[in-house]
Amino acid sequence: TASTIPSPDSGDQPEVRKGLAGVVADVTAISKVDPETNSLLYRGYPVQDLAATQPFEAVAWLLWHGDLPTADELAGLRAVEREHRALTDDVRAAIDLLPTSAHPMDELRTAVSVIGAREVAGLSALEAAADPDETVARSARLFGALPAVVAYGQRRRRGLELVEPRDDLDFSANFLWMTFGTEPAPVVVDAFNRSMILYAEHSFNASTFTARVVTSTLSDVHSAVVAAIGALKGPLHGGANEAVMDTFAEIGSADAVPGWLDDALASKRKIMGFGHRVYKRGDSRVPTMKAALDTLVEHYGRADLAALYDALEAEFVERKGIYPNLDYPSGPAYHLMDFDTPTFTPLFVAARVTGWTAHVAEQQAANALIRPLSRYVGPERREVPTAAES
């Protein structure tokens, strides 16, 4: 017999908020995203001012502790970060088990899993959950360890040897050193440092919310980060910076933009790097990253790339009124630095791990299990057929 499927709107149940759009799930003191004023504050500081003046390590401290570090605090964090820079044998062995065709996000997710298992070895699940202070301590070690994983992954895929870290370089310069094995130009270090700061934190986005959901069950910080990496991999979230470069490669040059866009829009394609769930009048981070991209275009002499960038932006904004998000300028910036396209989202992880873990600590400090309701729209109760009927 046919079963009746209740309509999702039936009954006097609460409204379903698809995608949790517009739902305020909790309070946070970490960042303020304000689409009205088009601004983003980390612990009260405008992100563009932090990007212009601070090393990424200081912003990591700010997100975890609530204030910018003193000179001694910054030195302390830098010491921990340096201590964990080298790729450890267990992580290297785990990565080497994966095919070189594995996506770098899968490589990174695996690496964090190995690091997490080592961190809490011998502890029960309850002991592993830890308190916010211990979470921040573990997070600083993880923050130090991630660049080697990203750098080794790209080198492995290119058939190159591992490059050991250099203690005389700060986080960003050492990251580039371990990836490319050459000392990076200051303009490149500066653009990279800015990108890290801009990517570090953005309130309750999908991956951060994922990390908070995992934390809310009293799981540990590495489990939360593994889950967040999974959420960030998708092209509607972090994966968009990769997709921007794929789009550029498909279009080829600035003069091909109008024709390409005609076809793309006719087939209802989403143009990656444009649009945002919260910002509807432009992403507050874009002008800062675009300025950094401009310095790279000049440094590498790639006016052609800038022309394609400008042409697609102008044409798409004019036709759809949808503005670029941070992934639009960061994709080409990472491309110019010579990162392979699939490495872009792992770079986002290396930055966002600071925001994720700040949220893990904040969730731990005032936890409530995150467990929403659903409205059932499947078949009404029915009898399992007897053997004779089936």
Q: Residues interacting with ligand ACO, by CB under 6 A?
A: 236-238, 240, 270-277, 320, 322, 325-327
C-beta of residue 142 within 8 angstroms of C-beta of residue 115: yes
237 is annotated as an active-site residue: yes
327 is annotated as an active-site residue: yes
Q: Which amino acid is at 33?
A: V
Cα–Cα nearest to 199, from 345, 30, 53, 305: 345
Query: What are the percentages of helix, strand and coil residues in the chain, rounded to 5?
Result: 60, 5, 40
Question: Which CB atom, from 95 or from 347, has the smaller least distance to ligand ACO?
Answer: 347
**Measured CA distances, 337 to 2, 104, 149, 197 (Å):** 60, 17, 18, 17
Among 84, 327, 335, 359, which one carries the catalytic annotation? 327
d(CA 179, CA 188): 13
Residue 384: left (phi > 0), alpha (psi -120 to 50), or beta? beta
Shortest distance (Å) from residue 65 CB to ligand ACO = 25
Collapsing DSSP to helix, strand or coil, 162 comes out as coil
Shortest distance (Å) from residue 292 CB to ligand ACO = 15
Query: What order do you get walking across the sheet with 31-34 strand by strand?
Result: 31-34, 39-42, 45-46
Among 237, 294, 338, 340, which one carries the catalytic annotation? 237
Nearest residue to ligand ACO, by Cβ distance, number only:
275
65 is annotated as an active-site residue: no
Residue with tokens 């050193």: 177
d(CA 345, CA 160): 21
Cα–Cα nearest to 183, from 198, 197, 155, 163: 163
Among 84, 202, 222, 276, which one carries the catalytic annotation? 276
Rg (CA), the chain: 23
d(CA 275, CA 325): 6
Shortest distance (Å) from residue 31 CB to ligand ACO = 13
Shortest distance (Å) from residue 326 CB to ligand ACO = 5
Shortest distance (Å) from residue 319 CB to ligand ACO = 10
Shortest distance (Å) from residue 204 CB to ligand ACO = 13
Residues belonging to the active site: 237, 276, 327
